[in-house]
Amino acid sequence: MRAYQSEYQQSIQHPETFWAEQARRVPWFKPPETILSYDEHGHARWYADGELNTCHVALDHHVESGRGDQPAVFWDSPVTGGRRTLSYRELRDQVATFAGALAGLGVEKGDRVVIYMPMVPEALVAMYACARLGAVHSVVFGGFAPHELAMRIEDAEPKVVIAASCGIEVDNVIAYKPIIDKALAQSTHQPAACVILQRDQAQADLGSIDHDWQVLVENAAPADCVPVKGTDPLYILYTSGTTGKPKGVVRDHGGHAVAMHYSMERIYGMAPGEVFFSASDVGWVVGHSYIVYAPLILGCTTVVYEGKPVRTPDAGAFWRLIAEYRIKAFFTAPTAFRAIKKEDPDGKWLEKYDISCLRTLFLAGERLDPPTFHWLDDLLDVPVVDHWWQTETGWAIAANLQGLEPMPIKAGSATVPVPGFNVQVLNRQAEPAADHEQGSIVIRQPLPPGCLAGIWRDPQRFHQAYMAAFPGCYLTGDGGYFDEEGYLFIMGRTDDVINVAGHRLSTGEMEEVLGAHPAVAECAVIGILDNLKGQVPLGLVIPKDGYNGDPQTLEKELIAKVREQIGPIACLKQILVVSRLPKTRSGKILRKLLRTIADGNEFSMPSTIDDPTSLQEVHEHMMSCEVGASHQARQV
Ligand code: COA
Ligand code: AMP
β partners of residue 422: 444
Please tell me the distance between residue 604's alpha carbon and the centre of ligand 2 in angstroms: 29
Using CA atoms, how far apart are residues 536 and 499, in angstroms rounded to an integer?
8
- Identify the pLDDT of residue 240: 87
In this model, does residue 229 exceed pLDDT 90? yes
Residue 239 Cα: closest atom of ligand 2: 2
Q: Whose CA is nearest to atom 6 of ligand 2?
A: 390
In the chain, what is the straight-line distance between the N-terminal and C-terminal CA atoms, in Å?
Answer: 43
Pocket test for ligand 1, best of 174, 308, 505 (most atoms within 8 A of CB): 308
- Identify the pLDDT of residue 245: 85
Decide: 493 in ligand 2 pocket, CB within 6 A. yes
Rg (CA), the chain: 24
Across 575-584, average pLDDT: 94
CB 368, CB 334: distance < 8 Å: yes
- 1-36 per-residue burial string, b: 16 or more CB within 10 A, e: under 16: eeebeebbeebbeebeebbbebbeebbbeebbeebb
Query: Identity (one letter) of the amino acid at 399?
Result: A
Using CA atoms, how far apart are residues 32 and 19, in angstroms rounded to an integer?
11
- Identify the pLDDT of residue 415: 98
Using CA atoms, how far apart are residues 557 and 355, in angstroms rounded to an integer?
47
Q: Whose CA is nearest to atom 37 of ligand 1?
A: 501
β partners of residue 497: 506
Residue 278 Cα: closest atom of ligand 1: 48
Decide: 533 in ligand 2 pocket, CB within 6 A. no
- Identify the pLDDT of residue 586: 86
- Identify the pLDDT of residue 152: 97
Please tell me the distance between residue 569's alpha carbon and the centre of ligand 1 in angstroms: 6
Q: Is 69 exposed, middle or buried (0-12, 13-18, 19+ CB in 10 A)?
A: exposed
Decide: 417 in ligand 2 pocket, CB within 6 A. no
Q: Whose CA is nearest to atom 10 of ligand 2?
A: 390
Give the model's confidence band at 607: pLDDT under 50 very low, under 70 low, under 90 confident, else very high. confident
Across 440-463, average pLDDT: 96
Please tell me the distance between residue 38's alpha carbon and the centre of ligand 2 in angstroms: 27
Q: Whose CA is nearest to atom 33 of ligand 1?
A: 501
Q: Whose CA is nearest to atom 23 of ligand 1?
A: 569
- Identify the pLDDT of residue 224: 98
Mean pLDDT of the chain: 96
If phi > 0 it is left, if psi is from -120 to 50 it is alpha, else beta; for residue 273 that is left
- Identify the pLDDT of residue 103: 98
Query: Identity (one letter) of the amino acid at 430?
Result: A
Decide: 398 in ligand 2 pocket, CB within 6 A. no
CB 186, CB 152: distance < 8 Å: no
CB 418, CB 412: distance < 8 Å: no
CB 174, CB 142: distance < 8 Å: yes
**Range scoring the smallest mean pLDDT among 108-117, 209-218, 579-588:** 579-588
pTM of the predicted protein model: 0.95
Using CA atoms, how far apart are residues 82 and 43, in angstroms rounded to an integer?
45
**Range scoring the smallest mean pLDDT among 163-167, 209-213, 584-588:** 584-588
372: helix, strand or coil: helix
Pocket test for ligand 1, best of 166, 331, 571 (most atoms within 8 A of CB): 571
SS3 content of the chain, % helix, strand, coil (to 5): 35, 25, 40
In this model, does residue 244 exceed pLDDT 80? no
Residue 573 Cα: closest atom of ligand 1: 17
Q: Whose CA is nearest to atom 28 of ligand 1?
A: 501
Please tell me the distance between residue 336's alpha carbon and the centre of ligand 1 in angstroms: 10
Using CA atoms, how far apart are residues 197 and 213, in angstroms rounded to an integer?
5
Using CA atoms, how far apart are residues 153 and 314, in angstroms rounded to an integer?
37
32 contact partners, CB below 8 Å, separation of at least 6? 20, 23, 46, 47, 48, 49, 50, 230, 254
Which is it for the CA torsion 51, 461, 451, 224, positive or negative?
negative
Q: Whose CA is nearest to atom 14 of ligand 2?
A: 366
Across 133-154, average pLDDT: 96
Give the model's confidence band at 636: pLDDT under 50 very low, under 70 low, under 90 confident, else very high. confident
Q: Is 214 exposed, middle or buried (0-12, 13-18, 19+ CB in 10 A)?
A: exposed
- Identify the pLDDT of residue 242: 75
Residue 501 Cα: closest atom of ligand 1: 37
**Ligand 1, pocket residues at CB < 6 Å:** 142-143, 167, 169, 174, 280-281, 284, 286, 308-310, 333, 335-336, 339, 365, 501-503, 568-569, 571
Using CA atoms, how far apart are residues 33 and 48, in angstroms rounded to an integer?
8
Residue 414 Cα: closest atom of ligand 2: 19
- The predicted-structure confidence for 41-79, as pLDDT tens digits, reads as follows 889 999 999 999 999 999 999 999 999 999 999 999 999
What domains are there in the chain, each with its CATH number?
Answer: 89-226 (3.40.50.980), 501-635 (3.30.300.30)
CB 517, CB 558: distance < 8 Å: yes
Beta-carbon count within 10 A of 320 CB: 17
- The predicted-structure confidence for 343-368, as pLDDT tens digits, reads as follows 999 999 999 999 999 999 999 999 99
- The predicted-structure confidence for 534-578, as pLDDT tens digits, reads as follows 999 999 999 999 998 999 999 999 999 999 999 999 999 999 999
- Identify the pLDDT of residue 496: 85
Biggest alpha carbon–alpha carbon distance for the chain: 74
